[in-house]
Amino acid sequence: MTGQGEPSRPAARRPAVVRPLPIAVDTMGGDHAPGEIIEGAVDAVREHGVRVVLVGQAPRIQRELDRHGFAGKIPIVHAEEALDMGEGALASWRKPKSSIAIACHLIKQGRASALVSAGSTAGVVATSRLRLKGQQGVMRPAIAVALPTTPRPTILLDAGASVDVKPEGLVQFAALGTAYAQILLGVERPTVGLLTIGSEPGKGNKVTKRAHELLSGGSHGIEFAGNVEGHDLLRGVVNVVVTDGFTGNVALKTMEGTVRTAFAEIRTAMTASTPARFGALLQRRRLQELRDRLDPDTYGGGVLLGLNGTVVIAHGASHARAIASACELAHRLASGRIVERIREQVAATRTSRFGRWTHGERDAQDKDRNSRPAERPGEAPKSPEPPREIPAPAAEHAPPDRTEPPAAG
């Protein structure tokens, strides 16, 4: 029974037999927590054979597991506090014992391979950035979402984790996206497009123009396919679309709003006359399926890439089904050794970028990573600190491969 096993025993002392680490599921985040979350985790165990560990109010979880007849079959780790859906970044400091913080702790201890949470994106991102720390060499993390293109999804990143990004940051996002696409889409060399406002290299703002230069440089292990525009997002012209977290978030929410408006208007149009209403009856199911496929609220959620651990952020409105597939996704990414792949991809971009640094940029990047808001946007710091190497904040706490299944290491 995959649900069994002792996640409390550290990875080091595990038997040689390969047993993938469980997925830590935050049972306290999300509009329908903990009921739907736990049900989803149970489904993941039952249907996908994923190992999970449930983090949250132990008694409540116990009751739910009884209800599903899974008492004692899924390990539980108690957590006192929960981040409210309304809470943002600050909560990550205020609540060191939140279910998300505990789940991150399990990953750092090598007792879990990944985290699944339907909590507020801001809270999940802030807490996991604080607890898991950024991967060595990764300037800033990015949220990758899968756009519902056919035949296979298109990966868009960043969907909102890092809003003020330098050109080198976008190049790194391309590396993160490449590693993610290799696992999610099973493509060996995924094509990467840069989201901007024209197909020609010269089109875009200062950051994207420079990023285009860097990406066109080659020798960074990225299959750069050039610029893409807003109307290409759902056309599936590339495997990965790279943009900063601000633009990506605006684009994603614009898509969401447009789909809703379109289908709301269609409903109206279709029921405006008796024959039309009759026609609508014949199509309601099909259209509902279609809306579900296109509406990020349904397919939504994303993966936070670039930290020392895999973090799957399910949509706040997630029901059991969405949680189950989030667990399955987290399992796939962990088994695919996403963190290691990212380290390799980013290393490739860094060597190719070597020598391109300027002090101003380094300082700006450090400022960005520590997310100290600048007094004046777009300005170099008043008193530039001496340039220094990009630090590896988390290297000593938790080397990336610690978060992978031991067999993989």
- Among positions 290-319, residues that touch a copy of itself (CB under 8 A) are 290, 293-294
* CA gap 62, 202 in Å, rounded: 59
Shortest Å distance, C-beta 159 to a copy of itself: 10
In the complex with a copy of itself, which residue's Cβ is closer, 237 or 390? 237
Residue ranges in 212-271 that form contacts with a copy of itself under rule CB under 8 A: 229-235, 243-247, 249-263, 265-266, 269-270
Does position 209 interact with a copy of itself (CB under 8 A)? The reply is yes
Shortest Å distance, C-beta 206 to a copy of itself: 4
Does position 201 interact with a copy of itself (CB under 8 A)? The reply is no
Among 72, 186, 279, 391, the residue binding a copy of itself under the rule CB under 8 A is: 279
Does position 380 interact with a copy of itself (CB under 8 A)? The reply is yes
23 Rama class: left (phi>0) / alpha (psi -120 to 50) / beta:
beta
Does position 272 interact with a copy of itself (CB under 8 A)? The reply is yes
Residue ranges in 312-371 that form contacts with a copy of itself under rule CB under 8 A: 358, 360-361, 364
At 200 the three-state DSSP class reads coil
Number of Cβ atoms within 10 Å of the Cβ of 19:
15
Shortest Å distance, C-beta 319 to a copy of itself: 20
- From the list 42-50, 67-75, 277-285, 305-313, the region that binds a copy of itself by CB under 8 A is 277-285
316 phi/psi in degrees, rounded to 5 = -55, -30
Task: Tell me how far CA of residue 384 lies from CA of 140, 322, 381, in angstroms.
Answer: 21, 47, 5
Does position 196 interact with a copy of itself (CB under 8 A)? The reply is yes
At 144 the three-state DSSP class reads strand
Among 14, 46, 60, 210, the residue binding a copy of itself under the rule CB under 8 A is: 210
Bond prior to 275 in cis (omega within 30° of 0): no
Number of shown-chain residues binding a copy of itself (CB under 8 A): 75
In the complex with a copy of itself, which residue's Cβ is closer, 27 or 191? 191
Torsion of CA 313, 315, 317, 322, to 10 degrees: -90
Shortest Å distance, C-beta 28 to a copy of itself: 22
In the complex with a copy of itself, which residue's Cβ is closer, 266 or 395? 266
Task: Tell me how far CA of residue 393 lies from CA of 114, 240, 308, 340, in angstroms.
Answer: 20, 27, 10, 17
Site string for a copy of itself, 77-116 (x = CB under 8 A): -----------x----------------------------
Does position 58 interact with a copy of itself (CB under 8 A)? The reply is no
Does position 172 interact with a copy of itself (CB under 8 A)? The reply is no
Shortest Å distance, C-beta 139 to a copy of itself: 14
DSSP 229-260: -GGGTTTT-SSEEE--HHHHHHHHHHHHHHHH
The neighbouring-strand residues paired with 313 are 117, 302
Question: Residue 227 in contact with residue 174, Cβ under 8 Å?
Answer: no
Does position 376 interact with a copy of itself (CB under 8 A)? The reply is yes
- From the list 1-9, 156-164, 219-227, 328-336, the region that binds a copy of itself by CB under 8 A is 156-164
Question: Residue 18 in contact with residue 334, Cβ under 8 Å?
Answer: no
Q: On the CB side of 35, how many CA atoms lie within 13 Å of its CA?
A: 4
